[in-house]
Amino acid sequence: MRDLKVGVLGRIVAGEDTGRFVEVIDDTDTSGGFLILTYENVDRSGNAYDSWVESIIDVELYFAESGWEIEWLDRP
């Protein structure tokens, strides 16, 4: 996935969870993997969910399995 961004908030525009927001966090120093966080609102409020995967390749597979297309917001 060429457009995958780590540490940047994005809007899910296609696939499961369309309309929610997603952020990938590199947590390798603490947990040894990556966190995939989804939020109800752009300000990271409302219902939020998280998933943990071991590698950036697993993040890409997770996105592909979910059918996600992301519009990256380029905001912290």
Residue 2 lies in a domain: no
Q: Is the pLDDT of residue 3 over 70?
A: yes
Q: What is the mean pLDDT of the chain?
A: 94
Q: Measuring CA to CA, how many Å separate 61 from each of 1, 14, 40, 41?
A: 9, 16, 22, 24
Mean pLDDT for 42-66 is 96
Average pLDDT over residues 37-57: 97
Domain that holds residue 32: 10-72
Residue 1: is its pLDDT beyond 60?
Answer: no
Task: Answer whether residue 26 is part of any domain.
Answer: yes
Q: Does any domain span residue 3?
A: no
pTM for the model stands at 0.91
The answer as to whether 4 is a domain residue is no
Give the pLDDT score at 37. 98
Show the CA angle centred on residue 51, arms to residues 47 and 54, nearest 5°: 165
Please give the tally of structural domains in the chain. Answer: 1
């929610």: which residue's tokens?
20
- C-alpha 70/C-alpha 76 separation (Å) is 16
